[in-house]
Amino acid sequence: MSTINKEEIQKFSNLAEEWWDVNGKFKPLHMFNPTRIEYITDKIKEYFKIENKKTDFLKGLKILDIGSGGGLISEPLARLGADVTGIDAAEKNVKIAQLHAKESNLSIRYLHKSPEQLKEFENFDIILNLEIVEHVENVDLYIKICRKLLKKDGIMFTATLNRTLTSYVKAIIGAEYVLRWLPIGTHDWNKFIKPQELDKKLTNEKFKTLDVKGMTFNPLLRKWRRSDDLSVNYIICSLKF
């Protein structure tokens, strides 16, 4: 069994050259990134009881970024001192990420692998699944493999899209057809997962949900912010117990 959906991998392979173009096809992710990183680092500090008096306050923590793409999340976390491994099933993404990390003088281990191809069981303190579960072939298998890779008492962040009428209007019609933020066909609304469905899948694999937060876009300020509105984008922070 595999978590790889070849059609989904091809979509992102076709866009690989644009990962670091802030005005390109990944512009929404560049806009989204600061809010995601702030949430993730706040929860890491809270859970691991870290005082960020130093710029490398994530030093000593091993992070696995699954579906790392061009490294938009891996790089900021590496700059904060984390030992980051980024894996992606699209080889072109990995090459772009490796090149950019080298140019940025960052030591990040990027691998052309899917999670089931890793053998580093119970090796990571933190796993990031950011906008990835809606693209995998088998979500239950994916979560089961993540559990194997995460240390006991490690935490996992899973960010995805809710399957609601609002998400269809905003994420599909709005982002792809009207604003043209994303290529048409980037997302399949039927693969979006409701928070309660994802929570149940996590619970089935012995994860405990610590926090759920929505991410909403303010079109007037053109900024993202944390929110209690889970109708479109949301993120779950969960604990392996």
3-state secondary structure of 61: coil
Specify the pLDDT at position 28.
85
Q: 139-149 and 195-204 helices cross at what angle (nearest 10)?
A: 50
3-state secondary structure of 224: strand
C-alpha–C-alpha distance, residues 5 and 132, integer Å: 11
Specify the pLDDT at position 50.
95
Specify the pLDDT at position 174.
87
For 24, residues 6+ apart whose C-beta sits below 8 A from its C-beta are 18
Entry pTM: 0.93
For 233, residues 6+ apart whose C-beta sits below 8 A from its C-beta are 32, 159, 160, 161, 162, 171, 214, 215, 216
Q: In a 10 Å sphere around its CB, with 0-12 CB exposed, 13-18 middle and 19+ buried, how is residue 180 labelled?
A: exposed
**Consecutive 10-residue averages of pLDDT for the chain (241 residues):** 85 85 88 96 97 90 97 98 97 96 97 97 97 95 98 98 96 84 85 98 98 93 94 98 94
Class of domain 6-240: alpha beta
